[in-house]
Structure 1
Amino acid sequence: MFYDGRSIENGGLIEADLCILGAGAAGLTIAQEFTSKNSKVALIESGSLEFEDDTQALYEGEDEDIGLGDTRLRYFGGSTNCWHGRCAPLDKTDFEKRDWVPNSGWPISRDDLVPFYRRACDLLHLGSFDQFHIKDWETKLFPGQFFRKIKSVDSKFLGIPFFRAEEPFLRFGPRFANPLKQDKNISVYLNSNVVEIETDEQTTAVQNVKIATIEGKEFSVRAKNYVLSLGGIENPRLLLSSNSIAPQGIGNNYDCVGRYFMDHSFTDMSQIFYSNEKFCFDEEVLQAPAGELFFRPNEQTQIDEGLLNAGIYLSGISTRSERAFIRFGHDIKRGNISSRLGEQILHMSEDIGGLAHNAACLVQGKRAPYGMWGVMVQAEQPPHRDNRVTLGNSRDALGMRKLKVKREMREIERHSVLRINEMFAMEIMRRGLGRVHQNHDYEDGRIFQKGVVDSQFGHDMGTTRMSSNPKEGVVDINCQVHGISNLYIGGSSVFPTGGFANPTLTIIALALRIADKLKK
C-alpha cells in the first residue's frame, strides 16, 4: 500500500516489524525481498513518485559549488531514476589489504559476496554472473579483430566487461511500485523525510525514527529493526544529526561517521589516432549489445607500480577531418558548398588516408568508423580518513543542517592515473595499433585536483565504512551499526574501498545479504 505522509495524523505513530529508510537501489531491493512475507514493513521515502523541486532542494549542501544534488535524485526509485545501468562486480583485490593503499581492504572477501552477486544479476536481468569471467569473452561477446590484437599485448592490462541493465529493469521506482502497492504487509510512505533516529539512553537500540514533511507535519515510526539506505551522503548526515542522546551522533563513538569519503575520478587522458587502418574500427567493437569494455592493469602490475585500481574506457571521437567530410556531404545535399568549401578542403586534407577509408565505408553502405578515440580513466580513490562529510551551519527547509564536503586528491591518485595512461599508450603504440596524443595537463597537481573534483560521479562511498573493529568503521560485517542491536545500513557508504567498478551491482548484492539476515 502507498500513503502520502502529508495525510498522516500529526504526532501519529506507525508500527512495523521492519522500517526501511529510503527507496533507492538498496531500500527497494530489501523491500521487494519482503513481498508475500508475513513481516510488516514500513518503507519511508522523502519524495513522491515524480521529481519535485522543493524535495530535490533538500540535497543542497552548504557549499553550492559542490553540487551535491547534481548526481542524485530524491524521489521514489532514488538515483536509479538517472542511472545509466552500468554493472560490474568489484575485483578480488578490491577486498584485500594492499600495503601501498592506506586503510584498504574489507573484513569480508569477494567470495562472501559471490552468491549475492549472482542474485543481483538475476534481479537486473543481466544474465549469469559467470559471464564476467567467461573464457575468451573478448571475442565471444565483442566482435572484431581488435581484442585478438590487444590480448596478445605483453599483457599488463586485462579486459574487464561491464554489462548494462536495460529498461524496464534499471528504473527501480516504476519497476517495484506495483508489487509493493499490492502487498498488504508493505506500506510505502511518500513525501516523508526522516529527520532523526531516536535511541535508548545507552544508544544500544533504536526506539523510533522521527518523520517530517516539508509542510511541517511530524509523525514517528517504531519497528523491531531499521535499515538506513539514504545514500552515501545522506546516511552519515542523518547519523550525525541524530544527536539528542549521543552528542557526536549515532554510531560515531570513534569519530568515523562521514570520514573516508570516496568517489570515482573520471579523466580524459589521451586521444588515439588509428594507424594503417589497424585501429580503425567501429564503436560497436567496444560496445556490444551486452555492455562495454574497460581495460585495467592486472594485479601484478598494480603491485609492481604501486597503483590504485583503475579502468580505461575508449570513447569514439570524430576528428576534425571527419567532421569536415560530414559537413561537406551535408552541404552537397543542400546545394550549398561555396561558403565553406575552402575551409572544408583544408580540414579534410589533414587525414587523407582516414578520409579515403571513411569514403569507402560509405560507398559500401557501412557506417564509417571513428578515426580517433578518447582514452578515459575511471579510477578508485583511496579511503583517506580526512576526506569527509560534516554538518555545516546553514539549514534546509526541514531544519536539518546542510553538509560540507572535503575531498582532496593524494599523490597516489595522480600517479596512478598518469602512469596507467602512459602504460596503455605505450602498449597501443608498440603494437602498431595507433598513435597517441597524451594530455599532460594533469601532471600539474592543482589542475588534477580541480579536474577530478569537477568530474564527480556521485558514486559516494565509504562514509559509514564496514570494519571488524569499531574504532575503524561504523558497521560490522553484517552491515549492522557497531553497538546498536537493530540498526543496519545499506548502500555504498559501507564500502571500505571502492575499486573502479560502478557501485550499484555491489550495493544490490549487499542489500540482498542484509535482507537475508533480517528474514532469519
Structure 2
Amino acid sequence: MTVIQDLEQGLTTQSLTADVCIIGAGPAGISLALELARARPDWHIVLTEAGGPQNASQTERDIYKVSLGDKSYGVLDVSRRRKLGGTTAHWGGWSKPLDDTDFEDNNAWDVPAWPITKQEVSSHIPRALKWTEIDSGDFHVNSIRKTHNGKLLPLRKDGAINEQLFRFSPPTRFGDKYYDELKAQDNLTCLLHANCYELVRDGDKVTSAKVRPLNGNTLEVNSQTFTLAMGGMETTRLLMNLRGDKSADGEGIYSDHLGRYFADHFGVRPGEILAPEGLKYSRFGDQSGPIMPVLTFAARDIRNNGEHNSCMMLQASAAPESLLAGYGGTKAAGFYASQYWHYSTQMIIEPRPNPTSTLTLTDERCALGLRRMKLDWQPHEDDFASAYRLFNALGDELGQTGLGRLNLSRPNSNSIRENVSGACHHLGTTRMAADSRDGVVDSNLKVFGQQNLYVASSSVFPRYGYSNPTLTIVALSVRLAQHLANKSEVAA
C-alpha cells in the first residue's frame, strides 16, 4: 500500500477501512496520527488532508471564504493554510504552556474554565516539546535571572506584576518535518487533496467520511473512530453542517454553544515607559535557546480581582520627548539619563469568552456543497479595560519602587477597540466542558451525544490565556492518542 496518496492523481480504491480516521493534517492531526500509529501497530490509521504538500491554489482557498459581521478581521485570509502541516507553515514558533490561572474559573465571568487540571495537560508537554523541537522544558523566569543579571526588573514579591517565560520552536513546519515519518509508518495512510465534505452517521455514531479532490471522485473512509483536526474554524463549520437544519437545542452538534465564543488573541500598545537600561522583555538568545520574558498580572490579582491573564512585552525605542523632562531636574527626581531607556509596550490580551462572538452558517455553499460561514468577531469590552489596568499596574510598580515612570499615550477608546486585529488563533467555538450544558466536547475531546467523534483543535479551549495555542494543541493531541489507544472499543 502506498502510504501517502494524492487523490488528485486518481483513486486506487473507492473505500478504505480504518480503526481511526483523522481529518486534517496540521500539528494536531499529524502528531495524533503518528502517536496513535506507533502506540497501536495493530491498528490502521487514516489521516486525510484537504491540501497537498504545496500552498493551496486560489480555487482551493475559495473553500475558506467567510463573510464578516460589523467588525473587520484582518487576518482572516492568512490565518488558515490548506496544506500538509496546516498553519505551522506560517507559525512563528512562540511556545509556552498555559498558566495555572488559565485552568481556573474567573470569578468575574459567567462560563466555566477547563474541566481538566493543568497537570492533565502539562504531563504531555514534554512530548509536545519534542514534536515542536524545543530543547528546554524550563519555563521559569527565575532560572534565567542569574545568567541575565540586570536584564529583568527587581519586582516586589507582593506587587501586582509578575513575570512568565516564552520559548520558541525553530519553528517546526510539520508538513516538511514529518513527511518522511508519515510515509514510513506502514500502518498509516495519509490522503492528500482529500476534502471532507460529508460525515455519514447511523444514529449517534459516525460510520464513514466522504472525501474527494475538488475535481474528482469520492473515496469513502469507513472507521471505528473519527477525529476532526481541521483547525478551529473548519472543524466548527463541519460540525455545524453535520447538524443540518435541526435546531441548537440539544447537546454536542446540536448544542447552542457550537459556534459561540469565537476568540483570538490580539494586542494593544497603550503607551511608553521609562525604566532601567537594557531590560529584556522581548525575544533574545539564551544558552538554552531563544527566550522571551513577559510581564503579567500576579496570579493573586487574576484570582481575586477577576483580571484577564494578559501579558506585556517591552521594546527599547526613541521617544519624541523624553519622559525625564517631565520631572524637571532629573537628579532631584532620582533619575540619570544614561541609566534609563524608553520602552514601547506591546500587549497580548486574553479574550474573555463572549457568547455573542460567533461563527454561523449562511445559505451560500462552497464547491464541496458545504454551507459557508459568517464570522461576527466581538471582543468583550472587559478585554480592553483589564489590559489597561495591567499597564497602569506596571506604572504603579515602577513608581513605587523608583524604577521608572509610565506615559499613557494611547488611551482606551472606540478607535483602539475597533481597529485591533487577531493573531490567527481560532479559539473557543467547540468548547470543552464537564457537562454538555456548558460545552460541545467532553474532557476527553469527544463530542457530546456522539459515540465516536472527537475534536483536536484550539476551538476546544474554554479559557484562552495569552499563550500561543500550538504547544497546548499538540499536548492535547498526545493526550487524545493515549486515550484512544487505551480504548478497546475503538477497534471493536
> TM class by shorter-chain length?
0.7 to 0.9
2:256 aligned partner: 255
- The counterpart of 2:143, out of the listed 137, 150, 153, is 137
1:43 aligned partner: 47
SS in 2 for 1:392: strand
Trace 1:236-315 onto structure 2 (pairs within 5 A).
Answer: 236-243=236-243, 251-274=252-275, 279-281=276-278, 287-289=284-286, 290=289, 291-315=291-315
Distance change >3 Å, CA 214–CA 288, structure 1 → 2: same
What CA distance in whole angstroms lies between the structure 2 residues aligned with 1:133 and 1:281?
20
Trace 1:404-443 onto structure 2 (pairs within 5 A).
Answer: 404-442=374-412
1:80-112 CA-to-partner distances (Å, cap 9, x unmatched) read 111111111111111112221220311111122
Contact 1:102 1:382 in 2 (8 A): no
What CA distance in whole angstroms lies between the structure 2 residues aligned with 1:370 and 1:435?
10
2:434 aligned partner: 468
SS in 1 for 2:186: coil
Distance change >3 Å, CA 177–CA 514, structure 1 → 2: same
Contact 2:23 2:228 in 1 (8 A): yes
* Structure 1 letter corresponding to 2:415: I
1:50-71 CA-to-partner distances (Å, cap 9, x unmatched) read 1123323322212395352222
2:328 aligned partner: none
- The counterpart of 1:151, out of the listed 145, 150, 155, is 155
2:103 aligned partner: 95
Overall identity of the aligned pairs, in %? 28
What CA distance in whole angstroms lies between the structure 2 residues aligned with 1:437 and 1:399?
53
- The structure with the largest alpha-carbon Rg is 1
2:207 aligned partner: 207
What CA distance in whole angstroms lies between the structure 2 residues aligned with 1:284 and 1:378?
13
Residue 433 (structure 1) shift: 3.4
Distance change >3 Å, CA 188–CA 281, structure 1 → 2: same
Q: Comparing 493-502 with 403-412, which one deviates more in the overlay?
A: 403-412
Q: Comparing 306-315 with 66-75, which one deviates more in the overlay?
A: 66-75
* Aligned alpha-carbon RMSD (Å): 2.8
1:161 aligned partner: 165
Residue 480 (structure 1) shift: 0.7
1:174 aligned partner: 176
What CA distance in whole angstroms lies between the structure 2 residues aligned with 1:318 and 1:14?
62
What CA distance in whole angstroms lies between the structure 2 residues aligned with 1:431 and 1:161?
23
Question: Unaligned 5+ residue runs, structure 2?
Answer: 323-334, 487-492
SS in 2 for 1:256: coil
Contact 2:251 2:448 in 1 (8 A): no
Distance change >3 Å, CA 216–CA 247, structure 1 → 2: farther
- The counterpart of 2:344, out of the listed 371, 374, 398, is 374
What TM-score comes out, normalization by structure 1 length? 0.82
Residue 312 (structure 1) shift: 0.9
Residue 411 (structure 1) shift: 3.1
1:140-163 CA-to-partner distances (Å, cap 9, x unmatched) read 46x13132x433475311110001
Residue 428 (structure 1) shift: 2.5
What CA distance in whole angstroms lies between the structure 1 residues aligned with 2:157 and 2:295?
12
Residue 321 (structure 1) shift: 9.3
Contact 1:260 1:383 in 2 (8 A): yes
2:222 aligned partner: 222
Residue 10 (structure 1) shift: 9.7
* Structure 1 letter corresponding to 2:446: Q
What CA distance in whole angstroms lies between the structure 2 residues aligned with 1:182 and 1:451?
47
Contact 1:192 1:212 in 2 (8 A): yes
1:450 aligned partner: 418
* Structure 1 letter corresponding to 2:261: Y
The number of residues matched between the two structures is 463
What CA distance in whole angstroms lies between the structure 1 residues aligned with 2:180 and 2:127?
21
Contact 2:66 2:372 in 1 (8 A): yes
Q: Comparing 312-321 with 71-80, which one deviates more in the overlay?
A: 312-321
Distance change >3 Å, CA 304–CA 211, structure 1 → 2: same
SS in 2 for 1:158: strand
Residue 137 (structure 1) shift: 1.9
What CA distance in whole angstroms lies between the structure 2 residues aligned with 1:217 and 1:77?
24
1:256-294 CA-to-partner distances (Å, cap 9, x unmatched) read 2111222112111212245xxxx2216597523331111
Residue 231 (structure 1) shift: 0.9
1:18 aligns with 2:20: yes
What TM-score comes out, normalization by structure 2 length? 0.87
1:333 aligned partner: none
1:233-265 CA-to-partner distances (Å, cap 9, x unmatched) read 111100111245957699322322111222112
What CA distance in whole angstroms lies between the structure 1 residues aligned with 2:177 and 2:231?
20
Residue 513 (structure 1) shift: 0.6
What CA distance in whole angstroms lies between the structure 2 residues aligned with 1:489 and 1:153?
41
1:107 aligns with 2:115: yes
* Structure 2 letter corresponding to 1:205: K
What CA distance in whole angstroms lies between the structure 2 residues aligned with 1:296 and 1:127?
25
What CA distance in whole angstroms lies between the structure 2 residues aligned with 1:494 and 1:384?
14
* Structure 2 letter corresponding to 1:176: Y
Contact 2:282 2:294 in 1 (8 A): no
What CA distance in whole angstroms lies between the structure 1 residues aligned with 2:282 and 2:225?
48
SS in 1 for 2:178: helix
